[in-house]
Structure formats: structure tokens, C-alpha cells
Structure 1
């Protein structure tokens, strides 16, 4: 059952990083079939927290790609009707045991206290969701780009990262190249 859309309120105007920058300390692990089960457990937990509203939930990131080494953090994207109506999704997710990490324009991030599951919340139809799914689906199908992406991550992890966000930003160029190939492959 789809909730009726509420009037939009102004979104946050700046980035709030709860707890400040965090040093990157996790390495890559070989793909683990348990990651899919962990996703399904959290999908149920999120559904239970959010109730019967119309929410889309997808497993994204490297742990969603069989065969791809990843840091052992399950990334999940949740699409909501109105990102500014935090009482509809943020309060229930916090009550379900997730902790707020990021509040920024068009995006919220909650995670488990153990930091092993990150839940990215976007408004339905936000282009970021399509970008996540484009990369995930292409890496699931394309061995060459999956190998390139893993090699890039391994090379970057040879450096010291004072902030996990800096590590993520360093992957951007390769991710953009892979997504360009994914878009080209979709045209044929």
C-alpha cells in the first residue's frame, strides 16, 4: 500500500557527519555467501521497522556482487517517498537499533552499532539509486570490470586512509569508467 505523498519541507542544507571522520581500518575479504543472508536479515528488520508503507530496499555495494572481494560492510539502499519526512523512516530505523551517521541533502545514512551494515536512505527516483544499481548489475555480469574494480580497491588499500570517505572518493574515477561501459552495454 503506497502512502500518500506529504507536502515537501526544506531538506537539510549541509552535511552532518555524526561522530566526525573515521579512520579506515578494514581490509578486503574474499566474497562470502553469508553477506546475502545478512542483507536479507536486515531487509526484514528494515521492513518491520518501516511498516506497511511503500519502501524499496536493495542490496548494493561490493558485498552484493558474488565473486567480488569487499570490505565486510553490507550496504543497503532504501527509497522513501519524502526524504524530509524523517519521522516516517529515520525515527523507526533508530528505534530498530540503527544509529545515525550522516544527514546531508537528499541522503541519510544509518548503520549498526557494529558498523557492519550501512543503510543509505534516498528519496524515491533519486538518481543515486539508479547509479548504485547500474554499477551493481554491471559488476555482476562483467568479469573484466569486476576484476578491475577489485584490483583498484586492493591498490588503494596499500595506502593509509585517515577517513573512510577519502578511500571511497579515491575509487571514483574507476567507478565512473565502469559505469560508462555499463551504460554503453545497455544501449546494445
Structure 2
């Protein structure tokens, strides 16, 4: 189990690390869609398929990211956090996920051994972590905070919309939202008595 210090510390990948397994994707226009009440059901179908494909290799699977927050506008991409015994052991989960259409896209050893697989239709970002990683805990805390705090949900949505015009890769878009995200994390960690 990660320590409070590990959960509250902002971790950044090594900027010199090339995370792209198949090379960087072609930049695409980022479009923020109104909240879709069908996103949770889409997640449930996707999670069931992941569990069926991986069986006991799944330690946990969670709907995270903006599509998991009712009322929050988002890219029409479902983010899923998957916990496996060891993300480095790609043979234990990648082939089975490839069998249902996922493609290994990101490998970040410097960021908790994070792996990310994408599904093209429907669009999914499947984030893979190990059981001792603080990131899934952080993602759940952020999701739950936004679900219960409409003022921060609105602040985050405004930051997302402001980040769109910069273009580039989705990682560039994410970097433009980072200050607001970290302000919200600071607030939620303080409210939880962790800072």
C-alpha cells in the first residue's frame, strides 16, 4: 500500500524518456463533448470485456478520468485504470488485451511502470499500474472529489476548455491543464488530512 507521502507527491515521468511504443501519434483535434449519461454503461461493458479477457490477472479495474464524473464535459474517450500484479510483465496481460482490440501505445518505466493501451472503437485509454502504485488511488480520489464538489468540477472543465486551443498531442493538452489539476489535488489532500 502506498504511503500518504507517495499519494500526495506529484510524480512526473522522466522528460527524456520516449514513452511511445509505436512512435508518437499524429496530433488530432481535441474536442470537448457535453457529458454523456451513456459513459458509465459504456465503461461497464468495457470493464466486463477486460475482466473476461484477463481473468485472475485483473486485481482491480476502475472508471477514472472525466467521463467518470457526472455532469463534466470531456473528450469522448473512456479512461480505465487497470491494476495487475506487475505491469512490466506485459506477456501476462498485453496479448489477451490485444485479442480484444487494444494496442499497447505507451510504456513509461519512470512513471510507476505505467503502460497505456488504446482501443479505437469505442475510444478507450486503458492505464495499467501495479498494486503498490499511488496513481490509481490519486485518480479515484480526484474523480470522487469532482463528483462531490461542483465548484472544482466547473473549474476543471474551464481549464480543459482553455487547454484545447493549444493543439499538439494529448500530452500537450494535459500539460496545459496541470496547474489547475494540482490545485484541486492540493485542496482534496488537505480536506482528507493528508497534507
TM-score by structure 2 length?
Answer: 0.84
Aligned residues of 2:34 and 2:72 also touching (Cα < 8 A) = yes
1:96 aligns with 2:100: yes
1:112 aligns with 2:116: no
Residue 175 of structure 2 aligns to a residue whose secondary structure is helix
In structure 2, the residue matched to 1:15 is 18
CA RMSD of aligned residues (A): 1.7
Whole-angstrom distance in 2 between the partners of 1:162 and 1:127: 28
Is the aligned partner of 1:75 residue 2:82? Answer: no
Q: Structure 2, unaligned stretches of length 5 or more?
A: 1-15
Aligned length: 175
* 1:115 positional shift: 6.5
Partner of 1:167: 173
Paired residues for 1:39-188 under 5 Å? 39-105=43-109, 106-114=113-121, 116-157=123-164, 159-187=165-193
- C-alpha deviation, 1:52, in angstroms: 2.6
Q: Aligned pair in 2 of structure 1 residues 160, 176: CA closer, same or farther (>3 Å)? A: closer
Q: TM-score, normalised by structure 1?
A: 0.87
- Give the Cα–Cα distance (whole angstroms) in 1 for the partners of residues 155 and 33 of structure 2: 16
| Structure 1, gaps ≥5 residues long | 1-12
User: Partners in 2 of 1:154 and 1:126 — Cα distance?
Assistant: 30
1:8-34 CA-to-partner distances (Å, cap 9, x unmatched) read: xxxxx9434124143131311111111
